[in-house]
Amino acid sequence: MLILTCPAQLQRLEGALRRSLPLTLPVYGAVMNINRGNPAGLEVVVDAWPEFGAVLARRRGEVAMGTPSWVLVGNTSSVFYRDVGAYRALLETPGCLRWDSAFHIIGDGKGSGVLGLDPEVRVGSLTPAHVDLLNKTWRHGGNARSRQYLEELLRLFPNLCLRDGAGQPLSWALTDPFGAGTHGYTLPAHRRSGYMWTVMVLAARRAQARGFPAFG
């Protein structure tokens, strides 16, 4: 098992993962974030370099005070492998994953136009001031840990929302540390208006304009 820390190695890995899209999406999004400041504190391990058979993006180091709460909500890693034997060997390598606590591992559609919107609906972004709304509407929310997790997503990663004439959010989607669209929600009173589809299309366009893939 090798931990890739050299910027040149990580850039080379990003290019290799790009050539295998869409199979590499979750780990590719993580590597892109690492190469652009690493706001989530991730790191990458491979079974071998440069000819790797498996690559895994995981949290860096041990859980400690100040650890981002998205780590504490779910000990999540993303993986891509070309060879299942290499993948199995990587996971079984001491120190690759913490087996004493719960964890989970996660592995293009055609373009479409944006639906016509009500003239009063505006495209914007959520801010940490909206965290209580998100925590209340998320099915896994409603507690202090989920609130901290959502606040960190709002602060560290892009998001997009539609607002009404008074500036109140109607529909939104966030981005997680692996570059995936997540936590999409439309207020019940405004459903069946095409808002979520519009949010998804606009968010995908923005992500692709910045060189990121669009996936959820």
Is 66 inside a domain boundary? yes
Regarding whether 150 and 76 lie in a shared domain, the answer is no
Residue 68 has pLDDT above 60, yes or no: no
Residue-wise pLDDT for 8-41, tens only, equals: 999 999 999 998 888 888 899 999 999 999 988 8
CA distance 207 to 209: 5
Is 104 inside a domain boundary? no
pLDDT above 90: percentage of residues in the chain: 44
Q: How confident is the model at residue 115 (pLDDT cuts 50, 70, 90)?
A: low
pLDDT above 70: percentage of residues in the chain: 84
Regarding whether 88 and 27 lie in a shared domain, the answer is yes
Radius of gyration of the chain (CA): 18
Residue-wise pLDDT for 125-178, tens only, equals: 999 999 999 999 998 899 999 999 999 999 999 999 999 988 899 999 999 888
Is 116 inside a domain boundary? no
Residue 108 has pLDDT above 60, yes or no: no
Q: DSSP H helical segments within the chain, as ranges?
A: 7-18, 25-34, 69-73, 84-92, 131-137, 144-156, 195-209
Domain count, the chain: 2
Report the candidate in 137, 175, 139, 133 with the shortest Cα–Cα distance to residue 154: 175
Residue-wise pLDDT for 191-210, tens only, equals: 888 888 888 888 888 888 78
Range of the domain at 9: 2-92
- ∠ CA 150-153-158, rounded to 5°: 135
CA 25 from chain centre, in angstroms, equals 10
Q: What number of residues does the chain have?
A: 216
- 59, containing H or E segment: strand 54-59
Regarding whether 127 and 85 lie in a shared domain, the answer is no
Regarding whether 198 and 140 lie in a shared domain, the answer is yes
Is 77 inside a domain boundary? yes
User: The domain spanning residue 164 has which CATH number?
Assistant: 3.40.630.30
Regarding whether 88 and 6 lie in a shared domain, the answer is yes
Regarding whether 188 and 145 lie in a shared domain, the answer is yes
Mean pLDDT is lowest, of 37-46, 54-63, 111-120, for: 111-120
Is 72 inside a domain boundary? yes
Residue 72 has pLDDT above 50, yes or no: no
Give the tokens for residue 212.
């990121």
Q: What is the pLDDT of residue 65?
A: 40
